[in-house]
Amino acid sequence: MLIRSPREINTQAAHESGLSRHTVCTVLKKDLNFRPRKPHYVQELTPEDCDRRMEYGELMLGWHDDWPKLFENILWSDEAGFYIFAFVSRHNCHYWAAHDPEVTVEKMQNRPKVIVWCGMTATRVVGP
């Protein structure tokens, strides 16, 4: 059931199969070598998005024909935040053990961070 549909919840699999949840978890871990996984979130793209990208590209190329220095006058930019001190997100850590390992992680509240900005044109880089 879970091989066919990995998104099934093991409690639902236990209910539908008539086995205990513990038995289902044991089979998943020991026999099938399954581990709990977290999904990776990505931006949903629709068919209209592809059409809009093509329209934008054609529009920009049309403008470039009329104004050859167009791309030299566009500033493309982005920014990112970096924490000064490393920290561990508890949502990204999993501990598998026979007994509670009693792992603790100290974390500073209101950690200082640096925002880095950079921009570029066709001919130069601005920043950071």
Instruction: Answer positive or negative: Cα dihedral of 94, 96, 99, 103.
Output: negative
Give the Cα separation of 114 and 74 in Å (integer): 26
Mean of all residue pLDDT scores within the chain: 77
- C-alpha 110, offset from chain centre: 23
- State both tokens at 19: 């086995």
Instruction: Give the global pTM.
Output: 0.36
Burial label for 12, CB within 10 Å (0-12, 13-18, 19+), is middle
User: What pLDDT shows up at residue 55?
Assistant: 94
Q: What is the pLDDT of residues 62-81, one digit of tens each?
A: 988 888 888 888 888 998 88
User: What pLDDT shows up at residue 88?
Assistant: 54
DSSP state of 91: G
Please state the domain extents for the chain.
Answer: 1-37, 38-126
User: What pLDDT shows up at residue 82?
Assistant: 80
Q: What is the pLDDT of residues 82-127, one digit of tens each?
A: 877 665 555 655 555 555 666 666 666 777 888 889 998 888 888 7
Give the Cα separation of 110 and 21 in Å (integer): 40
Give the Cα separation of 23 and 8 in Å (integer): 16
